[in-house]
Chain A
Amino acid sequence: MPIRSESSQDSHPAPKLGLILIQVLILALFFAFGLRFWYLQVHKGEDFEAKARQNQLREEEVYAPRGRILDRSGELLAVNQPAYALAIVREDVEDEEATLRKVAEWTSIPYEQLSERLEAGRKKIKPFDRLILVPDIEFELLSLIESNKVYWPGLEIVIRPRRVYRQGPLLAHVLGYVAEANEKELKERPELSMGDMVGKQGLEYMIEDTLRGDKGLKRVEVDATGRRLKEFMIEQPVAGQSVALSIDLPLQEKAFSLLEGQAGGIVVLDPDTGKVLSLVTQPSYDNNAFAAGLTKTQWNALRSHPRNPLQNRVIQSVYPPGSVWKLLVAGCALHEGMLDPKATTFCSGSYRLGRRVFRCWKKGGHGHVDLMKGLVDSCDVYFYQLGERLGVDRISEYAFACGFGNPTGIALPHEKGGLVPTRAWKRERFNEPWHGGENLNLAIGQGFTLAHPLQVARFVAALLNGGVLYRPSLLLDEEPEAQGEIPLSEAHRKLILESMIKTVEDGTARRIKRPDAVLGGKTGTAQVVRLGTERLDAEDIPYKHRDHAWMASWGQKGDQRYVVVCMVEHGGGGGSTAGPIVREIFRHLFGEPEEKVAGSGN
């Protein structure tokens, strides 16, 4: 029998051609594999070798502490504390979903939110770099995560400095806050990476570059589970520069407490440099909350608060200045040479212009009023006739020259400019001509005119310091910057200052009077709504319709000079509401009035 039988040949399952084809296919396949090996190992070998190195050696950012912020005497206002963040290194994660679910369980942050964050980071952060997943974790949680982390490769606890504002709400509107950089900031600043904190408000925002410092770089050799084998620093982090503020912390505390429960603002300036000693807004908020990331509820609570604690009332809220404005109008009239200070006007309690009657705040009238009396008693009728004579063009030009109508340029964001109405503005805004009657309202700080407390304070400071408008400054070491000079002669300036002194002595600002210091003041009661002819007591008017209370003042004792401006929203009368607050501030600045001390000694 032959080795291969006929039948075996005949019955062979596959045709000869097929057999050859299969062999050719095998060879072709192996040729293809060989080609692929060549492509990966020879053609692209260098690239892959580089990638392999990159795999083992990761570069890690080392966070630089933000510069500290101190008050004028070195008291710490903003510092850094080590805080713990949970980061994820995607390359080391075995099961992304399960890992995120675990983190969600630990932190009770919704899974969807974490996943959204991870997705956002996918495009921005290299797979082997740390992506901050939870920016701030509590200590109790930290130990829980730390002890379970081995089961969840890819999760890392990152220690980084967290901003802490020692005084919280007290300085929230000055310091602002830091929070995670958003999309836009990440795009604009290439040195930022996702999860980094940047200044968002206040000084933190304005002097971000000074405060931030430079991150360092560390090279870490890791294995695939992210376990660190070796690490060494390539670049040392550079801490941000510390900054001293002109703010006087005890004064700030005092002023803040005086406004407790009210809505309003206080600003205390050094009139000779423009340095801000105190800048208070009430109500305030805790800026520490932002660094940890606000929850939706917290944010909504802040946003829907009826008195909006996020609003900086010293620079972001503008109000009709009320009678405080009369200082400016008086200055304008003197400057224009249209006024003999001794000339009198008769106030009968109202002033008629055409068919309209404009009332003085004092129903019975002030009788014969000259400039001094007009300012001291804040006679509306006196200023009505001044307004009529001056007209909107002169007043507005003068007001601009005195720094109204434009932001002061203080190093805080979102400052408003206020409003100095002009004919052009009215045409633009209402498509209407300027009416003669509006000159009268303009002259007493009502109508369209809007200003914020810092503008008023700067103006008062200029009256006091010889006419220089300094840019209000919060930084202690900053050179004072003169922005201009108010157009008012020495003599006229003195005249107005004198009227302010008299106002304290026996006018509407009597409440701040003290025997051991020279004080000048001007109150203002800014109408919120026109309430008809009847003047009602504040208590009888709904809160939101009550007048805003102003007090612009200055004080000098020895070589100490200060400008204090206080504005209480819906506070009612300037003298009665803002007055006591200002008095207390001077009491803090100058100490207890000496007469009283002597009196108690006797």
Chain B
Amino acid sequence: MSIDRRVIKYLNWPLLGLTVALFVVGAVNLYSASAVRLEDGIALAPYFEKQLVWGLVGLAGMVVFMLFDYTRFHALAWPLFFLTLLLLAAVPVFGSTVYGAKRWLDLGPFSFQPSEVAKITILVVGARLLSRKPEKLGWGEFLFIVFVGMLPAALVVIQPDLGSSLNLLLLLAGIILYRGLKGRVLKVLAIIVPAVLPLGWFFLHDYQKRRILTFLDPTNDPLGAGYHIIQSQIAIGSGRLWGKGFLQGTQSQLRFLPEKHTDFAVAVFGEEWGFVGCLLLLSLFAMFLMSIFSTARDARDRFGSFLAAGVFFYFFWQILINMGMVLGLMPVVGIPLPFMSYGGSTTLVNFCLIGLVQNVSMRRHTFRHNRSLQFRGEAAYASKK
């Protein structure tokens, strides 16, 4: 692997800085969320320690994803896709059950979630499919991509992991919209999708239905499905302007907050750091997203642009859904907040994806190594013209 000196030179420093900053904020927050108070002070913060380890693993993963030329993914897309399908299909058979769901594959000393791998795969396959032509999507291409995306999403949803499969589909939807749909496709979808969406209701589990109903009226079931929403709002709201201070959040420290180290990490943060802290966190996330987005905008080629756009949407939806949920603006769906929520696989994948964006970003000024890759589709397009 030859590395151009300019590649290092063009490293996207703001993105790296924002990523590390978010990770640090998240880790500190996890310390507070998971700290176990013994007689004299804080004794253990198990999630914090593990998260630090995962952070280091993630940084390594990020470096790996930065170094080789991302265009190689173009050729790897399909093999990766079928491997992912195999892994996902193996989960219901060999997976271990945690909280009533089979999401993990045990690999000796560590276990991982194939649904995390699926995120990278969808991104790569999506970028490859979408970058073939420059013009807006027609029916054929659109349906094919939807079909391709549905396969892993369906395998994830039966685990059951509604959050992850939703994430996969939204990611795909994001980059499809990023490329654009032909007018006639857009018109038909604008009619069909709102009509079909309510049918999805019948495929939801009871608890999922309850969450949606509860979202519409949380007081309806203040201690069933509404509990999370109410408790997280109490935690955040009671932080007020300046927050209660690090490790001082009574709601999280007295363990009123459920899932406070995973999906509801922001509630812990909001309680301890207040409105001021939350604004800073929001700014960090906004800059982080903008930084990824500008990489997509400025990418050297369409494949790279779609890869970066995919990563953008991957993070964008998670932030939107998680914060929306914690703030009581959306139904409760188990989606983590990047770098804030505890999670080994997620953290690793997050860093790898940032590595991928760096990869695209760093090479935006270099010549195309693989011209044929870029122009094959365009030539065909041009010849058609």
Footprint of B on A, CB under 8 Å? Answer: 1, 3-5, 7-8, 10-15, 18-19, 22-23, 26-27, 29-30, 32-34, 36-38, 40-42, 44-49, 51-53, 55-56, 90-91, 93, 96, 127, 222-225
Binary A-proximity of B296-312 (CB < 8 A = 1, otherwise 0) = 01001110011001000
Question: Considering the chains assembled together, what is the distance between the CA atoms of A11 and B179 in angstroms?
Answer: 10
Residues of A within 8 A of B270 (CB): 37, 40-41
Contact assessment for B180 and A15 in the assembled complex, using a CB-CB cutoff below 8 Å: yes
Question: Considering the chains assembled together, what is the distance between the CA atoms of A30 and B255 in angstroms?
Answer: 28
Residues of B within 8 A of A29 (CB): 320
Contact assessment for B301 and A8 in the assembled complex, using a CB-CB cutoff below 8 Å: yes
| Top 3 closest pairs, chain A to chain B, by CB | A48-B237, A45-B240, A52-B238
Contact assessment for B254 and A13 in the assembled complex, using a CB-CB cutoff below 8 Å: no
| Interface flag for B234 (CB, 8 Å) | yes
Question: Considering the chains assembled together, what is the distance between the CA atoms of A37 and B239 in angstroms?
Answer: 10
| Interface flag for B12 (CB, 8 Å) | no
Residues of B within 8 A of A8 (CB): 300-301
Contact assessment for B236 and A48 in the assembled complex, using a CB-CB cutoff below 8 Å: yes
User: Contacts A11-B302, A26-B316, A27-B286: A38 and B275 contacting too (C-beta < 8 A)?
Assistant: yes
Instruction: Choose, from B139-147, B153-161, B188-196, B277-285, the stretch at the interface.
Output: B277-285
Question: Considering the chains assembled together, what is the distance between the CA atoms of A55 and B131 in angstroms?
Answer: 53
User: Contacts A45-B237, A127-B223: A33 and B305 contacting too (C-beta < 8 A)?
Assistant: no
Residues of A within 8 A of B240 (CB): 41-42, 45-46, 48-49
Who on chain B is nearest to A32 by CB? Answer: B329
Residues of B within 8 A of A34 (CB): 278-279, 282
Contact assessment for B180 and A223 in the assembled complex, using a CB-CB cutoff below 8 Å: no
Residues of A within 8 A of B327 (CB): 33, 36-37, 40
Which parts of B151-207 form the interface with A (CB within 8 Å)? 178-180
Determine how close the nearest CB of chain A comes to the CB of B362; give it in whole angstroms: 13
Footprint of A on B, CB under 8 Å? Answer: 130-131, 134, 178-180, 222-224, 227, 231, 233-241, 250-251, 254-258, 270, 274-275, 278-279, 282-283, 285-286, 289-290, 293, 297, 300-302, 305-306, 309, 316, 320, 323-324, 327-329, 364-365, 367-368, 374-375, 378
Determine how close the nearest CB of chain B comes to the CB of A34; give it in whole angstroms: 5
Determine how close the nearest CB of chain A comes to the CB of B344; give it in whole angstroms: 25
Contact assessment for A26 and B289 in the assembled complex, using a CB-CB cutoff below 8 Å: yes
Residues of A within 8 A of B256 (CB): 55-56, 223-224
Determine how close the nearest CB of chain A comes to the CB of B381; give it in whole angstroms: 9
10 new A-B pairs (CB below 8 Å) besides A37-B236, A48-B233? A13-B130, A13-B134, A14-B179, A30-B286, A32-B329, A33-B324, A44-B237, A48-B240, A51-B237, A91-B227
Contact assessment for A33 and B180 in the assembled complex, using a CB-CB cutoff below 8 Å: no
Supply 11 A–B pairs (Cβ within 8 Å), ascending by A: A11-B378, A12-B305, A13-B130, A26-B286, A30-B286, A36-B327, A51-B238, A52-B234, A55-B256, A93-B223, A222-B254
Contact assessment for B223 and A90 in the assembled complex, using a CB-CB cutoff below 8 Å: yes
Residues of B within 8 A of A12 (CB): 134, 297, 302, 305
Contact assessment for B302 and A13 in the assembled complex, using a CB-CB cutoff below 8 Å: yes
Determine how close the nearest CB of chain A comes to the CB of B56; give it in whole angstroms: 30
User: Contacts A7-B375, A91-B223: A13 and B305 contacting too (C-beta < 8 A)?
Assistant: yes
Question: Considering the chains assembled together, what is the distance between the CA atoms of A569 and B264 in angstroms?
Answer: 73
Contact assessment for B282 and A37 in the assembled complex, using a CB-CB cutoff below 8 Å: yes
Residues of B within 8 A of A47 (CB): 237
User: Contacts A40-B233, A41-B275: A13 and B290 contacting too (C-beta < 8 A)?
Assistant: no
Contact assessment for B234 and A48 in the assembled complex, using a CB-CB cutoff below 8 Å: yes
Determine how close the nearest CB of chain B comes to the CB of A47; give it in whole angstroms: 7
Contact assessment for B378 and A7 in the assembled complex, using a CB-CB cutoff below 8 Å: yes
Determine how close the nearest CB of chain A comes to the CB of B1; give it in whole angstroms: 23
Determine how close the nearest CB of chain B comes to the CB of A214; give it in whole angstroms: 29
Residues of B within 8 A of A1 (CB): 367
Contact assessment for A3 and B279 in the assembled complex, using a CB-CB cutoff below 8 Å: no
Contact assessment for A13 and B131 in the assembled complex, using a CB-CB cutoff below 8 Å: yes
Max chain A C-beta neighbours (<10 A), residue from B235, B254, B285: B254
A-B contact count (CB 8 A): 145
Residues of B within 8 A of A7 (CB): 374-375, 378
B239, B293, B297: the one within 8 Å of A45 (CB): B239
B134, B180, B234, B278: the one within 8 Å of A55 (CB): B234
Who on chain A is nearest to B312 by CB? Answer: A22
Question: Considering the chains assembled together, what is the distance between the CA atoms of A96 and B227 in angstroms?
Answer: 12
Question: Considering the chains assembled together, what is the distance between the CA atoms of A93 and B225 in angstroms?
Answer: 12
Determine how close the nearest CB of chain B comes to the CB of A120; give it in whole angstroms: 15
Who on chain A is nearest to B178 by CB? Answer: A14
Contact assessment for A41 and B236 in the assembled complex, using a CB-CB cutoff below 8 Å: yes
Residues of A within 8 A of B279 (CB): 34, 37
Contact assessment for A26 and B275 in the assembled complex, using a CB-CB cutoff below 8 Å: no
Who on chain A is nearest to B294 by CB? Answer: A23
Contact assessment for A224 and B234 in the assembled complex, using a CB-CB cutoff below 8 Å: no
Question: Considering the chains assembled together, what is the distance between the CA atoms of A13 and B235 in angstroms?
Answer: 43
Determine how close the nearest CB of chain B comes to the CB of A1; give it in whole angstroms: 6
A4, A13, A19, A55: the one within 8 Å of B306 (CB): A13
Residues of B within 8 A of A33 (CB): 282, 323-324, 327
Question: Considering the chains assembled together, what is the distance between the CA atoms of A12 and B240 in angstroms?
Answer: 45
Contact assessment for A36 and B238 in the assembled complex, using a CB-CB cutoff below 8 Å: no
Residues of A within 8 A of B297 (CB): 12, 14, 19
Residues of B within 8 A of A225 (CB): 255
Contact assessment for B180 and A18 in the assembled complex, using a CB-CB cutoff below 8 Å: yes
Question: Considering the chains assembled together, what is the distance between the CA atoms of A27 and B222 in angstroms?
Answer: 33
Determine how close the nearest CB of chain A comes to the CB of B228; give it in whole angstroms: 12
Determine how close the nearest CB of chain A comes to the CB of B122; give it in whole angstroms: 17
A23, A56, A90: the one within 8 Å of B250 (CB): A56
User: Contacts A30-B282, A51-B238, A93-B223: A14 and B378 contacting too (C-beta < 8 A)?
Assistant: no
Who on chain B is nearest to A55 by CB? Answer: B256
Determine how close the nearest CB of chain B comes to the CB of A33; give it in whole angstroms: 5
Who on chain B is nearest to A16 by CB? Answer: B297
Residues of B within 8 A of A30 (CB): 282-283, 285-286
Determine how close the nearest CB of chain A comes to the CB of B6; give it in whole angstroms: 11
Question: Considering the chains assembled together, what is the distance between the CA atoms of A46 and B238 in angstroms?
Answer: 7
Determine how close the nearest CB of chain A comes to the CB of B131; give it in whole angstroms: 7
Residues of B within 8 A of A14 (CB): 178-180, 297, 309
Residues of B within 8 A of A40 (CB): 233, 236-237, 270, 327-328
Residues of A within 8 A of B305 (CB): 12-13
Determine how close the nearest CB of chain B comes to the CB of A324; give it in whole angstroms: 64
Question: Considering the chains assembled together, what is the distance between the CA atoms of A40 and B236 in angstroms?
Answer: 7
Question: Considering the chains assembled together, what is the distance between the CA atoms of A4 and B283 in angstroms?
Answer: 30
Question: Considering the chains assembled together, what is the distance between the CA atoms of A470 and B338 in angstroms?
Answer: 85
Determine how close the nearest CB of chain B comes to the CB of A322; give it in whole angstroms: 64
Question: Considering the chains assembled together, what is the distance between the CA atoms of A159 and B341 in angstroms?
Answer: 42
Contact assessment for B278 and A224 in the assembled complex, using a CB-CB cutoff below 8 Å: no
A4, A18, A26, A56: the one within 8 Å of B254 (CB): A56
Question: Considering the chains assembled together, what is the distance between the CA atoms of A32 and B223 in angstroms?
Answer: 27
Determine how close the nearest CB of chain B comes to the CB of A221; give it in whole angstroms: 8
Who on chain A is nearest to B130 by CB? Answer: A13
Contact assessment for A223 and B237 in the assembled complex, using a CB-CB cutoff below 8 Å: no
Determine how close the nearest CB of chain B comes to the CB of A382; give it in whole angstroms: 78
Residues of A within 8 A of B374 (CB): 7
Contact assessment for B278 and A41 in the assembled complex, using a CB-CB cutoff below 8 Å: yes
Question: Considering the chains assembled together, what is the distance between the CA atoms of A55 and B235 in angstroms?
Answer: 10
Determine how close the nearest CB of chain A comes to the CB of B4; give it in whole angstroms: 13
Question: Considering the chains assembled together, what is the distance between the CA atoms of A47 and B234 in angstroms?
Answer: 9
Residues of B within 8 A of A127 (CB): 222-223
Who on chain B is nearest to A7 by CB? Answer: B378
